Structure 1
Amino acid sequence: MQTVYNTYTLEKERFTPIEEGKVRFYLCGPTVYNYIHIGNARSSAAFDTIRKYLEWRGYSVDFVSNFTDLGDKVIAQGEKEGLSEEEVADKYADAFLADVAALNIAPATTRPRATQYMEEMVAFVEKLMAQGQAYEVNGDVYFRTDQFKNYAVLSHQNMAELKKNAAGRLDNEDQEEKENDTDFALWKKEERPDVTSWPSPWGPGRPGWHLECSVMIDSLLGDTIDIHAGGIDLAFPHHTNELAQSESYHDERFVNYWLHNGFVNVNDEKMSKSLGNFVTIHDLLADDNIDPQGLRYFLSKTHYRRPVAYSRERLDQAQQEVDKIYRTMRALAKAAGPAGELDSTTGAQLQLLDERFMAAMDDDFNVENALTVVFEGLTLANRTLQEKKNQKTFALLREKLVTWLHIFGLDDFEEKRSLSKKAQAILEERAAARKEKDFEKSDELRDQLKEMGILVKDGRDGQSIEWM
């Protein structure tokens, strides 16, 4: 039985899609005003892993993830860079797509932009107003949270406490306009002449942040979807407000399973620009010593609901695991072929591992237990290689490992990192030392490279390296 942990109920529930064999899946995407940080990438990697597992299980997954391409952050970045709002959004949407592609995150089935759905957003708000669930004040439109009986259910907070906290965040203008402190904006008037706005019955303006996802889900996936995902910080207020407005609009259930991923801490502290530990994927990928697939593996190897503790040391440790995978998979590829009779004992062992892998991932996508199975499979492969089994057995092992590793974004088993200029210089110096038969110096230089995580081997054709 396949189960998922539903934030709505705080319980593991049996996973049963609305339509047999198909999963409607929505992931909240980024506001495209800057390069994505490691926390954004963690969400993308975690839910790509889940998506790929569902596809491995035979589901057709309609995976929609949006771009928020408007708002004050986009405007502010445009002013900083001398770009229009559209140019800012295009620049950082393209950067996002390049970064996630480097991490081997599959493209979304659809990647909508908020600005493409303005007419639908206005119509959505008009219907809520007609139903008495929204009201207009001086060009702003707010949702009446008191009209929605289950408003606090997804956040699992006390309604009175929500009202108190909301009141503390409001400025005087908002306090005067709102009927209730927890009411939220569906539409905000825009009076700045140099800022993009859209026409509406209430005057020129722009949609509230929460409205965008509800309308795009409604347009692309339907009234009710199977999975809605995002970071745990989105459970309130963003997803709470999405749920309220969508269920009010349709008068039926909005989402069957709410999935939220944990935070990323950097060097054991909460990531923050003020702390100087703000890490972007763009910067990490620019480092020649970082393997993009190793970074993806690091982001995927922790259960999606748990926090990820990032440090360069932990990333390097994850890379060592990936390097072991690379070595075994390259050896299997070299040895695999059609010849020979399949070794029945190896086949039976692999079948048991496959069942355990599925059981782990069926348990709310428990990647840690699933990866334990993967490494047992790699151990089995290495043992089989040492025993010099036949080509057909090697091919079977490789085929199964390829399907498992694909789920974690590992598809190419060639080395991805580049040697730094310093490491390259040491290698050249060592080659010269060996040519001069200065083996003492050669050994010293080999030890220096080892400290840099590079293992040097000498053969007939000269030096070769492996990453440790």
Structure 2
Amino acid sequence: MLKVFNTLTRQKEVFKSINPNVVNMYVCGPTVYNYIHIGNARSAIAFDTIRRYFEYKGYKVNYVSNFTDVDDKLIKAAKELNITVPEVADRFIEAFKEDTSAINIEPATVNPRATENIPEIIDFIKVLIEKGFAYESVGDVYYRARHFEHYGELSDQNIDELEVGASEHTDPAELEKKEDPIDFALWKAAKPEEISWESPWGAGRPGWHIECSVMSTKYLGDTIDIHGGGQDLEFPHHENEIAQTEAKTGQKFANYWLHNGFVTVGDANEKMSKSLGNFVTVHDIIKTVAPEVLRFFMATTQYRRPIQYTEANLADAANNLKRLETAYNNLNYRLKDAEAGNDPKVDQEVRQIQANFVDAMDDDFNAQNGIAQVYELAKLGNIYAENQRVDQGTIKMILEQLQAMVNVFGIVLKSEELKDDHIEALIQERLDARKNKDFARSDEIREQLKAQGIILEDTPQGTRWRREE
């Protein structure tokens, strides 16, 4: 029975989708003014892993993730690059797609852009004004946060304390436009020469929060199963989404709110962010680190836990992934001489490991416990592959389960294609030398191959070789 931790109720709850065997999920996407850093990638990987586990369990997942393609950051980037805001957005949306494809993130069912939904945003705001939840002020439109009785519940904050904080951190000119310091912008009046759209309140552009409410309800309906994003979005972004959406529809916005933990760096475990200048982009890191290693590193930590980004932790991930690849290749190698049939005892062990994997992942997508079961399956496969006689059906069963489990974490195991005639000839020469007790020549060939990046493994079934990575 799958349980998820709901940020709104701050407890684990049994997951039940609105429609049987279908999950409607909205995950806040990037503001596309730069390359994504691995903190952004953590959220994309976390929710892609969650999506994949739902699919592993047989659900159809409607996955919507937006692009914020107009805001102050894009306007600033456009000026610095001397191009238009749409050109900035197009450039970094394409970069986002390339980087997320490299780390094997499944494309969203829909990737809507804010600028593609301006009419819907304007209509949404009109309804909020008509219902008394919003008001126009000098070309801006603000939401009356205090009018929404549940404001602050998601982030567990007191509305009076929020008022004090807003008063201290809001620009005095903006405060003069607001009825209340905690009110937030739905529509922003355009400054001279800024990108803008015509509206009933004058030329302007949407506020940040309104776009997700509009696109979620447009593509998934008034009430969705899951809304996700990083912990930093709990307040104000998701808090504001709930307020404006439920005020407009009169319905519960999302049944479950899921938030992933941060990526931290350094001994102080400081949160990685562009504003702190301590970030590493995916675009840069995958030039030196295999994309599948970065993916494995992030996907195998439970999504709510922080991830400490260090070279040592990346190296551990690379070693663990190599263990799985070696087991996969050992099993594929034994298929060559496997006999027809199945080993009932080993088959039962495989089924038990698979059941343990489901139990682990059903506990709020506990990736650490889940991957531990994958390691158990790999260990079982390695031991079985050492047997003098192996059964083809059992080998295939282990391989299929191993691949299915690691696919939840976005990893594809591939069988090595080792067909180099020259290497095979040298290996045969080495075997002949060993039979003739010419150990000097045997060692010489091993060293010769090692110098070429070829690693030999002597097994009871013969000598295998692989290329060193």
Write out per-residue CA displacement over residues 96-127 of structure 1, whole angstroms, 9 at most, x where no aligned residue: 01111110110001111110000000000000
SS in 2 for 1:64: strand
Counterpart residue number, 1:418 = none
Q: Is this contact kept in 1: 2:332–2:415, CA < 8 A?
A: no
Q: Is this contact kept in 2: 1:457–1:465, CA < 8 A?
A: no
Q: Does the alignment pair 1:230 with 2:229?
A: yes
Q: Does the alignment pair 1:405 with 2:406?
A: yes
Counterpart residue number, 1:118 = 118
Cα offset, 1:466, TM superposition: 2.8
Runs of 4+ in 1 over 3 A off after TM superposition: 272-277, 336-339, 442-447, 454-465
Cα offset, 1:335, TM superposition: 2.8
- Once residues 74 and 309 of structure 1 are traced to their aligned partners in structure 2, the CA distance between those partners, rounded to angstroms, is 29
Distance change (3 Å), C-alpha of 1:67 and 1:17: same
Alignment of 1:25-44 (within 5 A): 25-44=25-44
- Once residues 230 and 75 of structure 2 are traced to their aligned partners in structure 1, the CA distance between those partners, rounded to angstroms, is 24
Distance change (3 Å), C-alpha of 1:165 and 1:395: same
Alignment of 1:39-438 (within 5 A): 39-193=39-193, 195-268=194-267, 269-270=269-270, 271-272=272-273, 277-287=278-288, 290-336=289-335, 339-387=339-387, 388-413=389-414
Distance change (3 Å), C-alpha of 1:414 and 1:85: farther
Cα offset, 1:463, TM superposition: 9.0
AA aligned to 1:336 is: L
Q: Is this contact kept in 2: 1:336–1:392, CA < 8 A?
A: no
Decide which of 460, 465, 468 is 1:466's aligned counterpart. Answer: 468
Cα offset, 1:389, TM superposition: 1.2
Q: Is this contact kept in 2: 1:124–1:215, CA < 8 A?
A: yes
- Once residues 341 and 463 of structure 1 are traced to their aligned partners in structure 2, the CA distance between those partners, rounded to angstroms, is 28
Give the TM-score normalised by the residue count of structure 2.
Answer: 0.88
AA aligned to 1:398 is: L
- Once residues 40 and 97 of structure 1 are traced to their aligned partners in structure 2, the CA distance between those partners, rounded to angstroms, is 13
Cα offset, 1:74, TM superposition: 0.9
The worse-fitting range, judged by mean Cα deviation, of 274-283 and 324-333 is 274-283
Cα offset, 1:191, TM superposition: 2.6
SS in 2 for 1:336: helix
- Once residues 98 and 51 of structure 1 are traced to their aligned partners in structure 2, the CA distance between those partners, rounded to angstroms, is 20
SS in 1 for 2:468: strand
Q: Is this contact kept in 2: 1:336–1:393, CA < 8 A?
A: no
Cα offset, 1:458, TM superposition: 9.2
Cα offset, 1:274, TM superposition: 7.7
Distance change (3 Å), C-alpha of 1:196 and 1:115: same
AA aligned to 1:306 is: R
Write out per-residue CA displacement over residues 279-334 of structure 1, whole angstroms, 9 at most, x where no aligned residue: 110001122xx211111000111110000000122101100000111111122223
Distance change (3 Å), C-alpha of 1:375 and 1:204: same
AA aligned to 2:306 is: P
AA aligned to 2:468 is: E
Unaligned runs of 5+ in 1: 416-436
AA aligned to 2:112 is: P
Cα offset, 1:2, TM superposition: 1.2
- Once residues 415 and 163 of structure 2 are traced to their aligned partners in structure 1, the CA distance between those partners, rounded to angstroms, is 55
- Once residues 163 and 462 of structure 1 are traced to their aligned partners in structure 2, the CA distance between those partners, rounded to angstroms, is 68
- Once residues 412 and 207 of structure 2 are traced to their aligned partners in structure 1, the CA distance between those partners, rounded to angstroms, is 40
Distance change (3 Å), C-alpha of 1:168 and 1:443: farther
Write out per-residue CA displacement over residues 362-403 of structure 1, whole angstroms, 9 at most, x where no aligned residue: 110111111111100000000110014122211110011111
SS in 2 for 1:94: helix
AA aligned to 2:146 is: D
Amino-acid identity (%) = 44
Distance change (3 Å), C-alpha of 1:317 and 1:455: farther
AA aligned to 2:171 is: D
Q: Is this contact kept in 2: 1:45–1:299, CA < 8 A?
A: yes
Q: Is this contact kept in 1: 2:328–2:399, CA < 8 A?
A: yes
The worse-fitting range, judged by mean Cα deviation, of 326-335 and 360-369 is 326-335
SS in 1 for 2:202: coil
Cα offset, 1:190, TM superposition: 0.1
Cα offset, 1:445, TM superposition: 12
Write out per-residue CA displacement over residues 173-194 of structure 1, whole angstroms, 9 at most, x where no aligned residue: 111111111100000100322x
Distance change (3 Å), C-alpha of 1:127 and 1:291: same
Cα offset, 1:79, TM superposition: 1.7
Unaligned runs of 5+ in 2: 417-440
Cα offset, 1:455, TM superposition: 8.1
Write out per-residue CA displacement over residues 198-250 of structure 1, whole angstroms, 9 at most, x where no aligned residue: 11000000001000000000110000000000000000000000000000001
Cα offset, 1:172, TM superposition: 0.9
Distance change (3 Å), C-alpha of 1:98 and 1:412: farther
AA aligned to 1:166 is: A
Distance change (3 Å), C-alpha of 1:462 and 1:346: closer
Counterpart residue number, 1:17 = 17
SS in 1 for 2:322: helix
SS in 1 for 2:141: strand
Distance change (3 Å), C-alpha of 1:171 and 1:301: same
Cα offset, 1:412, TM superposition: 3.7
How many pairs were matched up?
438
Write out per-residue CA displacement over residues 119-177 of structure 1, whole angstroms, 9 at most, x where no aligned residue: 00000000000011100111100000111000010010111111111111111111111
Q: Is this contact kept in 2: 1:361–1:370, CA < 8 A?
A: yes
